[in-house]
Amino acid sequence: MSRRYDVIVVGAGHAGVEAAHAAARVGCTVGLCTLSRETVAHMPCNPAIGGTAKGHLVREIDALGGLMGEAIDATAMQFKLLNRSRGPAVWSPRAQADKRQYGRWMRARLEAEEHIGWIIGRVGAVRLEGGRVVGVELEDGRRYGCGAVVVTTGTFLNGVIHVGDEQRSAGRVGEPASKMLGESLKELGLVWGRLKTGTPPRLDRGSIDFSQFEEEPGDVPPVPFSFLTGLVDREQTPCHIVHTNDRVHELVRENKDRSPLYNGQISGIGPRYCPSLEDKVMRFPERDRHLVFLEPEGVDVPEIYVSGCSMCLPREVQEAVIHAMPGLGDARVLRPGYAVEYDFIQPTELRPTLETRKVAGLFLAGQINGTSGYEEAGGQGLVAGVNAARRVRGDGEWVLGRDEAYLGVMVDDLTARGCLEPYRMFTSRAEHRLLLRIDNADLRLTARGREIGLIGDGRWSEFLARRERFERNVAAVRAARAPGRGGSVELAQVLRRPGVTLAGLAAEGAVEVEAGRDGRAYELSSVETVVKYEGYLRRQTATVARGERDERRRIPQGFPYGKVPGLSREVVERLSGVGPATLGQAGRVPGVTPAAVAVLGSYVRRWGGRGMPAARD
């Protein structure tokens, strides 16, 4: 045994860094296992953070004391706030990262954490005794002991990369797949499947004449992610816009049978919401062009990411496709796009803590759970890291509700419904999304983070001051009156009119409000939304309250669904397979009807008291 840690995290991608940091913050010693420190928080696909709903996840990670928001604020080349023309429930920040600086920033933060140790190597198996995790064994034979393991292997489990008819074992370009660990997890009896994702070609920045393209600048002023970030005052790097054309589409159709997506070479299921170029052309023949963004991967990085052009056609076909696009006739392809197939564990195998139901102390986070995206991975990493640490320390489980956070929505979706395709967060998945805005993520979650040890004294003091300002501002707006026809009217009524903003009213002297350090716009946004949408918020809060009874009612572990009269065999099979933690979660299991939940509820109470009826034949 080389050494013992409280928690070992396997993988140092976006899930792994948040898991390791969270477990260390709550007081555990952590062994972070990676092939190299140089690839910590690497961005193998688009070097961007945030986007619709994904930006919500990053704000929530930050509000809980995680790293992703601070990292992107410190290293972003361009900031955008998406969906400005729509309501505040769907505003989402997005930023283009300098991928090298982002990874260096993350590594420095982890290296500065005294409770984190580094294990350089590849894990081959999780070691068990009596159905519980006791450590890991590396492929070179080294062994490390621990009380919990968080596996965050991304696309590395039996990963295979495809470029035309070329195939090679890899988790991402240049890095070998993890085969031994993948097979060892299957031996634990976990239900698994096969998924696919992809990435576009990279172009040499110096071979492109950007004057031929429409420029896409960043927002001024930038909207940062972290509640700790003040004003961002640095030059932003623009992206550029290009479109596919008839010749590009013709090349794809002519070579469709050479694409692994269409010739049977790939069996894994890919994401519908982020289709490859082949899928765009074949599935939408009525479209004569598709939008493509040229996005830099870093200030000193020569690669340009061709967003919207993911493909796995043969190399020579990819070059022809790139050269057929306007303005890219002389562009040099540094690396072709590729598809990667990989194993994942069906997330219905997990509890809401992201611990496997079959193996105590084994937690999974990130793409191994069937998700896509850095943000989804980071959020799961934080949840798994906290719960792994709490298991080791003998504390209770830590679970966020669907009404508390997008993190709660995501984990509940995964563990109750599972994945038929790579899971991506959307605002439409959150039934209480007006309550779960980006501007109030700290008001919703920072106290939760403080309770479990993620939030330090300095940040807590700053948050308390922010919360007090918010309460004073709301009271000031509700008490103020503004001139109107026939006398004065409540300022709140004026604020509810279309086009009226709190910042504008404050500038006119109608009310005095405080925006805090650096005049942070989100503080006024929080107040404005609470006042402007008061009626809608009240109704959503009432809906949450009505559902709390079922959400609080626990279903005991090992509950005998087969002994409940009135439940169909299909419902019994689905509930037994998922093992919902609460009655509310049971109602979200596919195929379980409200009537079945009502019957189940009565027997959950009885089972907790005086027993159950005899089993059915």
Structure confidence by residue, pLDDT tens digits, 86-112? 888 999 999 999 999 999 999 999 999
**pLDDT reported for residue 616:** 45
Q: In the numeric block, which tokens belong to residue 220?
A: 């001024």
To which CATH superfamily is domain 3-44+104-197+342-426 assigned? FAD/NAD(P)-binding domain (3.50.50.60)
pLDDT digits (tens, 9 = 90+) for 179-217: 999 999 989 999 999 999 999 999 999 999 999 999 999
Give the residue-averaged pLDDT of 161-176.
Answer: 91
**pLDDT band at 271; cut points 50, 70, 90:** confident
Tell how far CA 230 is from the center of its chain: 24
Q: Where are the domains of the chain?
A: 3-44+104-197+342-426, 202-339, 457-539, 553-607
The reported pLDDT for the residue numbered 464 is 96
User: What's the CA gap between 608 and 617, in Å, rounded?
Assistant: 23
Average pLDDT over residues 220-232: 91
Domain 457-539 has CATH 1.10.10.1800: yes
Look at residue 552 in the predicted model and tell me its pLDDT.
Answer: 80
Per-residue pLDDT at 610 exceeds 60: no
What is the pLDDT of the chain when averaged over all its residues? 92
CA 123, 266, 307, 337 torsion-angle sign: positive
Phi–psi pair at 426, nearest 5 degrees: -130, 155
Write the pLDDT tens digit of every residue in 382-404. 999 999 999 999 999 999 999 99
The answer to which of 130-144, 207-221, 563-577 has the lowest mean pLDDT is 563-577
Between the CA atoms of 443, 445, 451 and 457, what dihedral angle is there, to the nearest 10 degrees? -60
DSSP labels, 287-341: -S--EEEEEES-TT--EEEEET------HHHHHHHHHHSTT-TT--EEE--EEEE
Q: 159 with 197: CB under 8 angstroms?
A: no
Class of domain 202-339: mainly beta
Single-letter code of the amino acid located at 323: H
Amino acid in the structure at residue 390: R
Query: In terms of Cα–Cα distance, which of 44, 268, 33 is closest to 171?
Result: 44
pLDDT band at 362 (very low <50, low <70, confident <90, very high): very high
Express as a percent the part of the chain with pLDDT over 90. Answer: 74
According to the per-residue pLDDT averaged within each range, which of 147-151, 551-555, 600-604 is highest?
147-151
Give the pLDDT of residue 458. 95
What is the rounded average pLDDT of the residues 352-374? Answer: 96
pLDDT at 615: 44
Q: Which amino acid is at 373?
A: G
Q: Which CATH superfamily is domain 553-607 in?
A: GidA associated domain, C-terminal subdomain (1.10.150.570)
Over residues 491-519, the pLDDT tens digits come to: 999 999 988 999 899 888 889 888 776 65
Q: What share of the chain is helix, strand, coil (3-state, %, to 5)?
A: 40, 20, 40
Contact 268, 187 (CB under 8 A): no
Cα Rg for the chain, rounded, in angstroms? Answer: 25
